[in-house]
Amino acid sequence: MLYVHTPIEPPGAMSVTAFAKWAGIGRTSAWAELRAGRLMAVKVCGRTLIPYREAERWLASLPSARPTTTGGAR
């Protein structure tokens, strides 16, 4: 029998808590991003949800990390 690995599709949207875990940030930072308008969410039955595509857009909009030098020879 042939098994084909298919990637798991991401959810259509995630809670703020799930987004914070996905992004590797705290819930307070996630809410700050929402309040600042840098991250968009939708309300569904009283829940605040962040669409997966919006989460990816937010992540892509962040500045690149610059390599740091650590006291080596210059």
pLDDT in tens, 1-19: 666 666 666 679 999 999 9
Q: What is the mean pLDDT of the chain?
A: 88
The secondary structure element, H or E, covering residue 59 is: helix 52-61
Query: Rounded to two decimals, what is the model's pTM?
Result: 0.74
Each residue's pLDDT tens digit, 15-47: 999 999 999 999 999 999 999 999 999 999 999
Count CA atoms closer than 13 A to 20's CA, side-chain side. Answer: 14
* pLDDT attached to residue 71: 62
Going by C-alpha positions, the residue among 42, 74, 72, 71 that lies closest to residue 55 is 42
* pLDDT attached to residue 45: 95
The whole-angstrom separation of Cα 50 and Cα 38 is: 12
The secondary structure element, H or E, covering residue 43 is: strand 42-44
**Per-residue pLDDT for 56 more than 80?**
yes
